[in-house]
Amino acid sequence: MLAITYGKTAESRAAWPGLAALMILLLVLAGPALAQSAPRQRESINSGWRFTLGDPAGETADLRYDVRPAYDDAGDGKDADARPEEAAKVRRDGSGVLKPWILPTANPFIKDPAKRHVAPKGNPGGDVAYVQPGFDDSGWTRVDLPHDWAIAGPFLAEGPYGGMGRLKSWGVGWYRRALDIPASDKGKSIFLDVDGAMSYATVWLNGQIIGGWPYGYNSWRVDLTQHIIPGGRNVLAIRLDNPPASARWYPGGGLYRDIWLTRAQPVRVAQWGSAVTTQDVSKASATVKVALAIDNTGSQATSVSAVTEIFALDAAGRRKGRAVARIDHVPGDAPAGGSVSLQGEAVVSQPRLWGPPPTQSPNLYLAVSTIRHGGRISDVYETRFGIRDVRFDAAQGLVVNGEKLRIQGVNNHHDLGALGAAFNRRAAQRQLEILRDMGVNAVRMSHNPPAPGLLDLTDEMGFLVMDEVFDSWELKKTPLDFHLIFPEWREADLRSMIRRDRNHPSVILWSVGNEVGEQYSGEAGASLTRELVTIAKDEDPSRLTTLAMNFAKADMPMPREAEVISLNYQGAGIRGIIGQYPAFHAAFPDKVILSSESASALSSRGEYLFPVAGAISGPVRPYSGGDPVTHQVSAYEMHAADFGSSPDRVFASDDQHPYVAGEFVWTGFDYLGEPTPYYTSRSSYSGIIDLAGFPKDRFWLYQARWRPDLRFAHILPHWTWPGREGQVTPVHVFSSADEAELFVNGVSQGKIKKRDYEYRFRWDYVTYLPGEVRVETWKQGKPWAQASVATTGAAAALSLKPDRAAIAGDGRDLSFVTLSVVDAKGDMVRPAKNPVRFTIEGPGEIVATDNGDPTDMTAFPSHQRNAFNGLALVIVRGLAGQSGKVIVRAQADGLAPASAVITVGKP
């Protein structure tokens, strides 16, 4: 479907600012013929691709981006905080690789013209069969994007692949698609816009190499104009070459984000060429500044003018009424083949401010910029933004619109569990909804630029974002990671991320690196930090910059270059080294300090291991937090990675250092790969929420901390322990109450009042007897909340509950259906691990199943899945273009079956 914007004449704006909106509606209803006359069209080309793995049989052309170093050890399973290493030395003579033809794609993001690249003559790869327009790809797999070629599995049971999720994401993949370019597009500029491709992408059009981009997480553009044949046959071929040993987590593989075709006039707003900033923000008024970068790829210089109108958006993202402000930009002259910047500003009265719930609202605006030259409209460009005032203060921390806010954040990797790296808006929205329920108000993008659609969601839902670009610089963490391309691509990758994301009000910080090895290199590392910070400030002076440090100390050179001090684990102490907050605060009294990674606590949902340690925090060890046979980690939520801490210990450190602005917990969700401490598993143990989206007990510990006014009490463990009768089975309770009394079968186990720096109630010597455990709590002397858990009967039935009973039939919308194993009374049997079979009827399909068990090696597309501690998940998608009732059924031997109905609506 085309996303179309239309221009407005000066006369129509004067007569009625809303007239353009009516024109848009009329033209869209009129159909494709009139749509072609729009000055700018952005068309999704996600459908209709063909895909295959591997290069053509017998192909001898060298299609590598560059020569890669050989390696013996991928480093799988080494400590996550291990010191990065020197890059391997590789002999390169610059010949026989595609890099010289790819580098020019970076030119728009290289500030110094002398450093920009010129592609050599020639057309490498032009003779390869797969790039030829006439090649018959009908035998290839038909796919729609976003597409992750590795997520279907199977999992790799053997070998050193745990770090990358035991899924074969590495290798070469090809995608082909025909483009519909009508003859009426002659004279237009036509671009391929890629939100993300994993990785080392090379693009050919009609057999001609066009460009590409090596970094798999950034968005990028190639210009197709010179080689497009309007009215003729046009075929795109995209080759990806995803390296092994290139990540510490699951990267995915393929065209895993959205792809667009953009048509525009030769005089137009440049790629991400609108920059909106707000100043002097108050409830009474705000100054909105809009800078427009205008490209002129025509053959003649021209005078360019622009008008920007600002509209308020409602909760559904629709314009509300007339424009609230108008900016008449200062005109400028755009040279042939050059650019010009047009500046302007206006005051918005009584602005609807953007801010994070629950105390603020994520209000949004739309800037509609109309570009004119030669007496006609040449472009209309829309920019969504928010009006907000964000300040970092060394004493108060983060202040948004005058309100001091503590950062209650999590880190998240980019995969969406059983869906893999392929971005899906509903899946990402579901994650954010679950996090919000816990009390999260901030997300750190770990450790790479996110999908643009994720930032759209954080804008709409009001999450604060630390946007991060690199996990490594020149020193390596894995043999084939980003360090191989950092020297030549760092400026382009950093500028492109910031230019793309700078108008998102949710973004409050730029992070230029995570735990980089240059922490260890003294002044040299500080110099490189300074270079990256300078680039970030040049692109966006309105935000502060930071980088996450897990080694650098307050007396070292690198922290001097950070505008915000971000510490990974060092605040609560790391590997026996005492907490570093006081030292950093003393060295940098004028800088904000925050914990960019905290805790790294580990657990498996519903797995309670005995005996239970008396200490509140400790590393996972055999039979002390971890089971070396089952590879599960205790859910008592007191164990962590060797460099980490339990939540309780982090809370105490934060409370003892009130100048700390807050924390980003490692991690919000379990993610594929990096399965510390058991690298034979498929996924991590660090999430507060498991891979399927089911909360672990830790969820309620954070909820008690971050939503202290929420009345609840959460008891752990469950109380169904056949064979443990008479044995000590500690009971812990998570609640924001300050006093609690526990009862087992009506007998009090004692009343406890929290002391300073205590965040849970614990009765460590309870003897297990079947029956009921009940807790009563008080806060400030008044009754607060009650809760109970009881011994359940044998598993008797299944239950299915969709998170949404109605979804769109657009081929992308999803319903996440929770399966529970229940007893005869309908209570969930928490130890249950029954094998379950799923079927579906109607206009929908089962995309994947999961259960949150990090050791489960059943491929995600399987329709059979063991319940894990009472739960499993079925992900259902409505078929594109269809509607009707979908029935999901679940069966298990010896249990009553279950079904759920989902309505698939017209797209």
SS (H, E, C) 90-156: CCCCCCCCCHHHHHHHHHHHCCCHHHCCCCCCCCCCCCCHHHCCCCCCCCCEEECCCCCCCCCCCCC
Interior angle at CA 288, CA 392 and CA 661, nearest 5: 10
Residue 59 among the catalytic residues:
no
What is the rounded distance in angstroms from the CA atom of residue 130 to the CA atom of residue 204? 10
Tally Cβ neighbours within 10 Å of residue 282.
12
43 is catalytic: no
Reading the block at residue 796, the tokens are 């008797």
Q: What span, in angstroms and rounded, lies between the C-alpha atoms of 141 and 134? A: 17
Question: Which one of the listed residues 460, 515, 518, 663 is annotated catalytic?
Answer: 515
**What φ, ψ does residue 583 adopt, rounded to 5°?**
-65, -45
DSSP code per residue over 597-638: EEE-B---TT---SSPPSSS-EE-EETBEEETTTTEE-TTS-
Neighbouring residues of 684: CB distance < 8 A, sequence distance ≥ 6: 249, 667, 670, 671, 672, 673, 674, 675, 676, 854
Cα 809 from Cα 793, distance rounded (Å): 40
Bridge partners, 476 (sequence order): 85
Q: CA nearest 868: which of 824, 826, 835, 893?
A: 835
Long-range Cβ contact pairs of 707-714 (< 8 A, separation 24 or more): 707/438, 707/439, 707/736, 708/736, 709/736, 710/736, 711/784, 711/785, 712/785, 712/787, 713/737, 713/740, 713/775, 713/777, 713/784, 713/785, 713/786, 713/787, 714/787
Distance CA 82, CA 123 (A): 42
Tally the C-alpha atoms within 13 A of residue 265's C-alpha that lie toward its C-beta: 23
> How many CA atoms does the CB half-sphere of 786 hold within 13 Å?
6
Sequence-distant (≥ 6) Cβ neighbours of residue 145 within 8 angstroms: 46, 47, 49, 255, 256, 257, 258, 259, 422
* DSSP state letter for 233: -
Query: What secondary structure letter does DSSP report for 555?
Result: T
Q: Cα(343)–Cα(43) distance, rounded to whole angstroms?
A: 29
Of residues 226, 238, 223, the one with CA closest to residue 268: 223
What are the residues facing 252 on neighbouring strands?
Answer: none
What does the angle CA 150 – CA 151 – CA 153 come to, to the nearest 5 degrees? 75
Contact predicate 599/627, CB 8 Å? no
**Chain length of the chain:** 907
Active-site annotation holder among 43, 539, 561, 597: 597
Residue of 842, 782, 834 whose CA lies nearest to 809: 842
Question: Looking at the annotation, which residues are catalytic?
Answer: 515, 597
